[in-house]
Structure 1
Amino acid sequence: MIKSAITVSLVEEAKGGPFVYWNGLDDACSEAARLGFDAIEIFAPAADAVDVDKLLPTLQQHELKVAAVGTGAGMVKHGLSLTDPDKDRREKACQFVESIIHFGGRLSAPAIIGSMQGRWGGDLDRDAALGLLAESINRLAPIAAEHGVPLIYEPLNRYETNLLTTVADACGFLRTLDTDNVKLLADLFHMNIEEADIAQAIRDGGNDIGHIHFVDSNRQAVGLGHMDYAPIIQALQDIRFDGYLSAEAFPLPDSDTAAVKTIEAFRDFFPR
């Protein structure tokens, strides 16, 4: 069964970014539960920034799961990436992601590698950068497997990375890895920029797709842009997707409106 999720950011440096809730986990859990979401997706500044022992009963109280945890604070706060030419900084990036994997693992939630994939340029060409990314993912995905969850890799749009920007390219990259414990995050905002046909890209991605960022063409909540959702929803049904549709959207015009628009659309598309 396809499930709903909504994002909450705890990263001060990301203020103004595409996350719906910003007032802490207690507030996010309360609001998400009130509206009927199945889960939250957490963007934390570090693995030790969240008291998991305190969060678990809060989640239980509100009958919520954690859909995923983001690693992007490693880039936003510390400028780290898995393709940094400097070996020491690349090691720090891997250690940061590993800590987030363990944090998410305690919540049965996979970690997402998005902005921390970095980019190529200067003395680092594209093939070399992809080699470094593969090396890091081959190291990190088995750690996620120890927690019974995949590692999630997100192709971004051309303005955020120059590595892999389409689902097809990302699927090809997965085939080069030594691990099979990696799934793709299909973000509808990025796909609106890069894919000629979003629905077909989802069909072609098939079982490789493990998570969806459910957002409109302008990165606002569903219904506030010009995205045509009918073929996208059909494609998700065609591939028998049963993961989370998570609202990684700007809190516009405010968090509550973005959340309400998202859950209303989710219920329209996936009535229970």
Structure 2
Amino acid sequence: MLSAVTISLVPEARGGPFVYWDDLAEGCREAAARGFDAVEVFPPGADAVDPLVLRSLLDEHGLALAAVGTGAGWVKHKLSLTSPDATVRDKAIAFVKSIMDLAARFEAPAIIGSMQGRWGDGVTKPEALRYLGHALFKLDAHAADLGTTLLYEPLNRYETNLVNTLADAVTLLNAIGAERVKILADLYHMNIEETNLADAIRGAGSRIGHVHFADSNRRAAGLGHTDFAPVVATLVEIGYAGYLSAEILPLPDADTAARQTVAAFRRLVG
């Protein structure tokens, strides 16, 4: 397993769970200085990141690109894959595809989290799940065309009322026959929704393609009450060899959060 840390370039997301903010070059420099293997980037849109500049920064600092987030699709552009408006849904799919295209240039996946939306306000739960399944089916095909994967993240009940557990995500992906969509297991969301973190991970098995390494309070690992030892042991058991990525609040400050994450990662993973 490898370590990663988040960099947000989205002003509208300020206050969210990202360690570094606003400055891609500085974020990469700090990530490398702290000893991370990779960065996870959240841009306002695909055109906000120059691939040549990003490649140069990654090479300069010996980093990989772990994933690219699509959260700005909702936070900034108000696009949802489950909107009652078909035009908005189409725009949402196009936005995700553009992020996938960017990420694929670095052999990295894109992430769908908040863009999955929720049911209500004119959309029933069956309708919302149908819209979401349709979108993921189309995006699965796009991932196949790109030769990459897409990460789908179950969120806690306060952020979506659609899919909250890893088991529900597995059911959804199996129902649409997804081959290129993997599950992002976010330990913060799981702490709220899962009865047992290790059992949930074991149940999802090879469907897991990425892990957000966050404690129960969404701070760095070791600053809450999550017992990470059985979590990491189960990830090893299922053969997971991807990233543990710090999508966490930068508390008490970004540098302390980064240092704490790296220390916890080295203690647990080696």
TM-score of the superposition, structure 1-length normalised?
Answer: 0.97
Instruction: Look up the SS of the partner of 1:27 in the other structure.
Output: helix
Cα displacement (A) at 1:128: 1.1
Structure 2 distance, partners of 1:34, 1:52, is 22
Alignment-mate amino acid for residue 51 of structure 2: V
Q: Which residue matches 2:14?
A: 15
Structure 1 distance, partners of 2:38, 2:141, is 25
Answering whether residue 170 of structure 2 is matched by residue 175 of structure 1, we say no
Answering whether residue 233 of structure 2 is matched by residue 234 of structure 1, we say yes
Cα displacement (A) at 1:181: 0.8
Alignment-mate amino acid for residue 67 of structure 1: A
Contact 1:45–1:77 (Cα < 8 Å) also in 2:
yes
Q: Which residue matches 1:267?
A: 266
Cα displacement (A) at 1:143: 1.4
Q: Which residue matches 2:198?
A: 199
Structure 1 distance, partners of 2:81, 2:33, is 38
Contact 2:7–2:20 (Cα < 8 Å) also in 1:
yes
Instruction: Look up the SS of the partner of 1:176 in the other structure.
Output: helix
Cα displacement (A) at 1:179: 2.9
Q: What are the superposed Cα offsets for residues 162-216 of structure 1, whole Å, 9 maximum, x if unpaired?
A: 0000001110111111431110000000000000001100011100000000010
Instruction: Look up the SS of the partner of 1:5 in the other structure.
Output: strand
Q: What pairs with 1:147-166 in structure 2 (closer than 5 Å)?
A: 147-166=146-165
User: % of aligned pairs identical?
Assistant: 56
Q: Which residue matches 2:111?
A: 112
Structure 2 distance, partners of 1:162, 1:145, is 29
Alignment-mate amino acid for residue 16 of structure 1: G
Answering whether residue 76 of structure 2 is matched by residue 83 of structure 1, we say no
Q: What are the superposed Cα offsets for residues 5-29 of structure 1, whole Å, 9 maximum, x if unpaired?
A: 0000000000110000014111111
Q: What are the superposed Cα offsets for residues 206-243 of structure 1, whole Å, 9 maximum, x if unpaired?
A: 00000000010000111111111111111111111101
Instruction: Look up the SS of the partner of 2:176 in the other structure.
Output: coil
Q: Which residue matches 1:144?
A: 143
Alignment-mate amino acid for residue 231 of structure 2: I
Instruction: Look up the SS of the partner of 1:203 in the other structure.
Output: helix
Q: What are the superposed Cα offsets for residues 93-129 of structure 1, whole Å, 9 maximum, x if unpaired?
A: 1111111111111121100000000001133111111
Instruction: Look up the SS of the partner of 1:212 in the other structure.
Output: strand
Instruction: Look up the SS of the partner of 1:17 in the other structure.
Output: coil
Q: Which residue matches 1:221?
A: 220
Structure 2 distance, partners of 1:55, 1:123, is 41
Unaligned stretches of 5+ residues in structure 1: none
Instruction: Look up the SS of the partner of 1:96 in the other structure.
Output: helix
Contact 1:40–1:67 (Cα < 8 Å) also in 2:
yes
Cα displacement (A) at 1:148: 2.2
Answering whether residue 43 of structure 2 is matched by residue 33 of structure 1, we say no
